């Protein structure tokens, strides 16, 4: 089967098909409401809205509300981690 993958354009061509790029939300993951993100991060909903509108936290607009990919919240928290001391 590995031969078939190589003939289809090689592993480099297929790698992007299975893994979404960092700037696009995952399509298979869970989406959280602004209130759920706020509770998870222990901040106000207004803080989450600021992060979304500022481009720091990607979100999808659904009608008049936003949905934030759970993986985006985890990535934001991981990237924002600061060691004290």
How many separate domains does the chain show? 1
Give the pLDDT of the chain (85 residues) as one tens digit per residue: 545 444 444 444 444 445 455 555 545 689 999 999 999 999 999 999 999 999 999 999 999 999 999 999 999 999 998 877 7
pLDDT score of 14? 47
Query: Is residue 85 situated within a structural domain?
Result: no
- Whether residue 51 lies inside any domain: the answer is yes
Residue 82 phi/psi, 5-degree rounding, is: -125, 130
Which range of residues forms the domain containing residue 47? Answer: 2-80
């Amino acid at each position: 089967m590995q031969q078939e993958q190589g003939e289809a354009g090689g592993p480099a061509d297929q790698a992007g098909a299975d893994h979404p790029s960092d700037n696009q939300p995952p399509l298979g993951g869970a989406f959280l409401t602004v209130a759920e993100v706020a509770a998870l991060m222990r901040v106000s909903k207004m803080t989450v809205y600021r992060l979304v509108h500022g481009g720091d936290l990607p979100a999808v607009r659904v009608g008049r509300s936003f949905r934030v990919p759970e993986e985006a919240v985890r990535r934001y928290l991981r990237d924002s981690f600061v060691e004290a001391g």
